[in-house]
Amino acid sequence: MSRRLARFALSLYRWGGVALYPIVGPYLALRVAKGKEERSRRRERYGFASVDRPAGPLVWFHAASVGETNAVLPLIKEVRRRGIAVLLTTGTITSAKIVRDRLGNDVIHQYVPLDLKPAISRFLEYWHPDLAIMAESEIWPMTILELSKRHIPQVLVNGRISDRSFPRWKRRMSIADAIFENFALVIAQSELDAERFRTLGALPVMVSGNLKVDTDGPPADAAVLKAYLDQIKGRRTWAAISTFEGEEAAAGNVHRVLKERTPGLLTIIVPRHPERSDAIADMLTARGLNVARRTLNDPLTPETDIFLGDTIGEMGLYLRMTEIAFVGRSLFAEGGQNPLEPAMLGCAILSGGNVQNFREAYQQLARNGSAKMVRDVEMLAKGVHYLLSNDEMRKQMIEAGQETVQEMRGALRATVKGLEPYINPLTVKARLHPRQTS
């Protein structure tokens, strides 16, 4: 497709909405998933604001879900420290709860509008952001085009392009170029991501490292943690976190295999999507395992086999209850999940091999001896047993993980430096016109 034709197709999409969907496929899909929105706030998806816009400069941050939200929290706090108002959009109930718990009233939260012209236009006409900052891989053509039409600078931070997405974009280079050229700046996680963005037409591109490394470890309620630790009373534990379908059954099988070798073993399972917890609990119970659920405030008795962490925003609690963590979406699903949080909170890390979305983090953790990869459930069971039985090796892996995290820090400083040409003028404007609520 020629560049001129690509621009024509994008203009049709701008005015006609869904006509371009068959061409660009999943990139133009609607950002509403069943079970991931609040009914009372559904109008926000169509660009209708539910709160007043504050006076003065405003930066719009968008983070799709929990991982992206956690990654940009320190950056948001830096912008707020300068007196600039922040509008933060997310796409899921889970991420909305994270915003509420971690930022409170310090930012304005809205659900992200659909990537369709009426919704985006309504949203932008109301909020009039001075700068738009998107996190990681949020590439939505209508949003990008409408921001560009209004001459609103847009920056992609902590940017990454997955192994699956990159060839799809390359097959449509003209469209990719017509979209990516609208970014005023792309700040990529790695040199590989940066090169991919440049190939697709983004300029300028700089590398910051991964913002997730510069976040604090997820918090935990001290009283709740103490209560559970008192109930465990020194039992051996391990956790399977951010699990996807099939990985909970694998964790249950590992528990059954190791229970005889490790009397009193407690397995903690934290599914990535808590709405699946009823089915997970039924599956584990049918296999003869005694399941306690966090949402039901079930006590952890000596008979408890599985502690099902079926809550939102309590990863810090579960990771502080163990020193061994298998990180999911890596054995029976693809992409992997964030291994940095367990490393920060003192866990030796196990993972399947499908970790493309966190390749660089895993490479550094594995290189330093803090993460080990497993091929299948049998190898996972052997890995968990080895770490349960070898205190010295487990301690070495934990220390190596915490040292690796310290070595990887610096992405926040680099990102702020890259954003200074866009943020500094807003800082001056905010000081000249102190924020008021209209």
Identify whether residues 106 and 235 lie together within a single domain.
no
Which of the residues 44, 68, 247, 323 is marked catalytic? 68
- Which of these, 173, 175, 166, 172, lies nearest to 145 by C-alpha position? 175
Find the mean pLDDT for residues 114-130. 97
pLDDT value at 32 more than 50: no
Could you give the percent of the chain with pLDDT greater than 90? 83
The token pair at 38 is 């609040």
Identify whether residues 366 and 230 lie together within a single domain.
yes
| 381: in domain | yes
| 437: in domain | no
Identify whether residues 200 and 239 lie together within a single domain.
no
Of how many residues is the chain composed? Answer: 438
Identify whether residues 87 and 142 lie together within a single domain.
yes
Q: What average pLDDT does the structure give for the chain? A: 91
Contact 13, 140 (CB under 8 A): no
pLDDT value at 35 more than 60: no
The confidence score (pLDDT) of residue 25 equals 39
The token pair at 201 is 């037409």
| 141: in domain | yes
pLDDT value at 3 more than 60: no
Q: How confident is the model at residue 433 (pLDDT cuts 50, 70, 90)?
A: confident
Identify whether residues 389 and 296 lie together within a single domain.
yes
Q: How confident is the model at residue 317 (pLDDT cuts 50, 70, 90)?
A: very high
Per the model's pLDDT, the better-predicted residue between 145 and 19 turns out to be: 145
The confidence score (pLDDT) of residue 432 equals 85
C-alpha separations of 232 from 264, 265, 297, 344, 374 in Å = 9, 10, 14, 22, 28
The token pair at 81 is 């420290």
- Which of these, 314, 324, 273, lies nearest to 294 by C-alpha position? 314
Q: How far apart are CA 410 and CA 9, in angstroms?
A: 40
Contact 309, 226 (CB under 8 A): no
For residue 54, give the CATH number of its domain: 3.40.50.11720
pLDDT value at 31 more than 90: no
Find the mean pLDDT for residues 160-189. 94
What pTM does this model have?
Answer: 0.85
Q: How many helices (H) and strands (E) does the chain have?
A: 18, 14
Identify whether residues 206 and 236 lie together within a single domain.
no
392 is an active site residue: no
Identify the helix (H) or strand (E) that includes residue 239.
Answer: strand 237-243
- Which of these, 186, 196, 203, lies nearest to 418 by C-alpha position? 186
| 138: in domain | yes
| 323: in domain | yes
Tens of pLDDT, residue by residue over 36-84, are 568 889 999 999 999 999 999 999 999 998 889 999 999 999 999 999 9
Identify whether residues 370 and 240 lie together within a single domain.
yes
Torsion of CA 320, 323, 329, 331, to 10 degrees: -160
Identify whether residues 252 and 133 lie together within a single domain.
no
φ, ψ at 137 (rounded to 5°): -130, 30
Question: Residue 144 CB: number of other CB atoms within 10 A?
Answer: 24
Per the model's pLDDT, the better-predicted residue between 97 and 322 turns out to be: 322
Identify whether residues 193 and 228 lie together within a single domain.
no
Q: Which amino acid belongs to residue 142?
A: M
Query: What is the count of structural domains for the chain?
Result: 2
Q: Which residues of 224-239 are buried (b: 16+ CB within 10 A; e: fewer)?
A: ebeebeebbeebbbbb
The confidence score (pLDDT) of residue 157 equals 98
Which residues constitute the domain of residue 390?
222-408
| 438: in domain | no
| 346: in domain | yes
Helix axes 173-180, 141-149, angle to 10 degrees: 40
For residue 238, give the CATH number of its domain: 3.40.50.2000
Identify whether residues 232 and 299 lie together within a single domain.
yes
The strand pairing partners of 54, in sequence order, are 437
The confidence score (pLDDT) of residue 216 equals 87
| 331: in domain | yes
C-alpha separations of 204 from 175, 198, 201, 303 in Å = 18, 8, 9, 58
User: Between vectors from CA 104 to CA 99 and to CA 110, what angle results, nearest 5°?
Assistant: 50
Find the mean pLDDT for residues 300-319. 96
The strand pairing partners of 293, in sequence order, are 308
Strand-by-strand arrangement of the 154-159 sheet:
108-111, 85-90, 58-62, 131-135, 154-159, 185-188, 205-207
Q: Is 313 left (phi over 0), alpha (psi -120 to 50) or beta?
A: left
Identify whether residues 172 and 56 lie together within a single domain.
yes
Q: How confident is the model at residue 234 (pLDDT cuts 50, 70, 90)?
A: confident
Q: Which residues of 7-16 are buried (b: 16+ CB within 10 A; e: fewer)?
A: eebbeebbee
Identify whether residues 304 and 239 lie together within a single domain.
yes
